[in-house]
Structure 1
């Protein structure tokens, strides 16, 4: 048995070694996983603080966007200094399961605590009334079940802060783009019989991940795997069954379905 720590989540997006327990979600059965991240371009201010209260996506084909909106639970609603997320640095705003299909738009709803700091002095950033219902950005991204996606909300803080003449007042007119990419690939399959009580391990270099197959069906799933060759090991905790292992190739943005594995008695 592998002597490693267990982390109860889908594959994380870090370079450290970890184990991912079998998830209680349905990533491989009609849903995808979406992470929404905030990032920014450099700006000539001490700070640009934006009060993010809600993130919503439109998952319908309604061109008027009057229905189909789904709110994503924010990890930490509140004020973010955009300048903390420059030069490739980002932070996760939301991490949720969403139905497969298409994301038409994303809506970013801001609160009232928006400020810009210039030479150590904070100024309130007024938001035009037309933006109070949320900033809508077109995405038009197809979403496949069983794939992990990242959506980046890329603020241009330098262009988003507008001076209102010589009054010392500033207006927040966000200049934002949203883009998405698939994070690695996925592997799914079945291992039988249930009496073997198998554990499935996916191993690549320093990454070691664990899935506990469904007791009734033997179904297992790994999501967000780096592209490349992974070793799958099927360990029978019932010792009257023999273990087995083999390698699979994983491609970003796609699901590798493995033939059913049948563990046998000696």
Structure 2
């Protein structure tokens, strides 16, 4: 069974009216920036975020960058999964178009692997020019709140050096090449569900088969078997489940599964029935 739930309490990617109170000459907007993630094969993934900027002019124009009010901090992105998000910026902002957003990272990003060891994350570009993300249709209107949700993809962002071996310098094992999807304004569909056994820890792909070429979004089920996608376009999806763990010897093997015909609409979260993987 597939059910739908309103997204009114979540307000992901939605432009929310602030009402008509106040001076008619007060032409202001509010800008919010949030960060979320999907579970990954690490105990912790910590980003050393030093500064956040937005670009108000075309990409080729070096001017127009504006620094946002943000306190430099270390953020464990794995704390913000399955609908949880970190509020990075909430500020008044002049109405207009945003062209790009840039995260400036410091040198202290790191991961703690499943082995309990800490490994530095080297960031080839993020520590200098910053991690730049293009924005499409990011228009702030008067007396509205506009939200940008930065969806950090751990699996694609952390790259292990091919020549690294146990016993080598731990600082040289991983590179951070951030892959971040920006969700803005009207892109506010969602779906969620569970799998059993939770120990299968599957990767979950949501493939929007109603368009050509198909869009594919990915996440992982957490330790309770729950998974969730937010800020995905409306359409019809096929869900694919790929267990990442092996079943104990006395239990049936975990299996890949497919669920077709899952419909996602704006302003709603589609609930998918539990999927057994054995």
TM over 0.5: yes
> TM bucket by the smaller chain?
0.5 to 0.7
Provide TM-score, normalisation by structure 2. Answer: 0.54
Checking the alignment, whether the CA contact within 8 Å between 1:103 and 1:139 is kept in structure 2 is yes
- The number of aligned residues is 166
Greater gyration radius: 1
Q: Please identify runs of 4+ aligned residues in structure 1 that moved more than 6 A.
A: 24-28
Look up the SS of the partner of 1:38 in the other structure. Answer: strand
Q: Which residue of 2 aligns with 1:177?
A: 181
- Quote the offset at 1:29 in angstroms: 2.5
Q: Which residue of 2 aligns with 1:80?
A: 75
* Change in 2 beyond 3 A, CA 1:138/1:27: farther
Distance across 2 between alignment mates of 1:151 and 1:138: 12
Distance across 2 between alignment mates of 1:25 and 1:41: 40
Q: Which residue of 1 aligns with 2:123?
A: 127
Q: Deviations over 1:34-58 (max 9, x none)?
A: 0110101121111110001111111
From 118, 129, 135, the equivalent of 1:139 is 135
Q: Which residue of 1 aligns with 2:98?
A: 103
Gaps spanning 5+ residues in structure 1: where?
Answer: 1-12, 16-21, 183-251, 253-266
Look up the SS of the partner of 1:138 in the other structure. Answer: strand
Distance across 1 between alignment mates of 2:140 and 2:39: 31
From 148, 151, 160, the equivalent of 1:151 is 148
Provide TM-score, normalisation by structure 1. Answer: 0.56
Match runs of 1:89-238 below 5 Å: 89-118=84-113, 119-129=115-125, 132-140=128-136, 141-165=138-162, 166=164, 167=168, 168=170, 169-181=173-185
Aligned-residue Cα RMSD (Å) equals: 3.1
Gaps spanning 5+ residues in structure 2: where?
Answer: 1-8, 12-18, 187-266, 268-278
Look up the SS of the partner of 1:63 in the other structure. Answer: coil
Checking the alignment, whether the CA contact within 8 Å between 1:28 and 1:146 is kept in structure 2 is no
